Structure 1
Amino acid sequence: MKKPIEFNYSDFDFVKNIALTFPDTEESVSHEGTPSVKVRGKLMCRLHDSGEFIPIRIGFESRDYYLETYPEVFHLPEHFKNYPYICMWKDYHDRKLVTEILEISWRSLATKRQIKDFETGNSLD
């Protein structure tokens, strides 16, 4: 029997509000109706349907660094090992580290033009 899905949308607010500061990000709904943020239609981060953690898209090389450096913040459930994601406990609210990891995620999904505009402070708006 499948475990009932239980999550609180507000558990994603801290991460969502930071993620949405990056250009061309959009609020969306993902797996099992969970709140998410996407870049160009691709998943950047979301609240896991267990309600316990937030998968964030990040390259495999960066993922290993963050798992080793911040083992109390990030973990990697078996299901995510073959995908370019790292999982952050939902209750972690250090703005500097969360912003850093979300910028890496955003850069992995943004176009070269979006990254260039972001770095030079230009906005397409």
Structure 2
Amino acid sequence: MTFDDVRVVALKWPEVTDGTSYGTPALKVRGKLLTRLKEDGESLVVLGVDADERAMLIETQPKIFYFTDHYRDWPIVLLRLPKARRQAVEGLLLRHWRTLASKRAIKALEAIPGRGP
């Protein structure tokens, strides 16, 4: 995957917009950060992942998921885009999107066949 692939997926969801964060391309929901491209240009900063889930992801899929000391105290995992599959990326981002989106936007997405809760 590439960030452009991520963009194609997420921009179909209500309230998602293109933006920047720390000088890198980012996707936002109602002005709040959904995800961004890490400065290395190949990793995705995935928010909304607690320490336990992050540890599990890194342990089970170390070629895809990792983190740096900079992100140790934050609910974030880093994802190597070239090694990732769309399903994994979409699932993580969609879960975080639900925490940022309005109730109306969530209902609108759930009304699309195959996008239920």
Could you say what secondary structure the match of 1:91 adopts?
A: helix
Could you say what secondary structure the match of 1:21 adopts?
A: coil
- Is 1:14–1:93's contact at 8 Å kept on the other side of the alignment? no
Deviations 1:70-105 (A, max 9, x none): 222111111112222111013124122121112112
Tell me the residue number matched to 1:34.
24
Could you say what secondary structure the match of 1:121 adopts?
A: coil
From 42, 58, 62, the counterpart of 2:48:
58
Normalised by the length of structure 2, the TM-score is 0.80
Q: Looking at secondary structure, tell me which structure has more strand per residue.
A: 2
From 5, 20, 39, the counterpart of 1:14:
5
Could you say what secondary structure the match of 1:45 adopts?
A: strand
Normalised by the length of structure 1, the TM-score is 0.75
- Is 2:38–2:45's contact at 8 Å kept on the other side of the alignment? yes
Deviations 1:48-84 (A, max 9, x none): 1122411011231543443333222111111112222
Identity across matched positions, percent: 35
Moved over 3 A (4+): 61-65
Q: 1:121 to 1:88 in 2, by over 3 A?
A: same
Query: For the aligned residues, what is the CA RMSD?
Result: 2.1
Q: 1:63 to 1:118 in 2, by over 3 A?
A: farther
Residue 17 of structure 2 aligns with an amino acid whose one-letter code is E
Structure 2 residue ranges without an equivalent (≥5): none
* Count of aligned residue pairs for this structure pair: 111
Q: 1:109 to 1:65 in 2, by over 3 A?
A: farther
Work out the CA distance in 1 between the residues paired with 2:16 and 2:41.
22
From 73, 97, 101, the counterpart of 1:106:
97
Highest relative contact order (Cα 8 Å, sep 6+), 1 or 2? 2
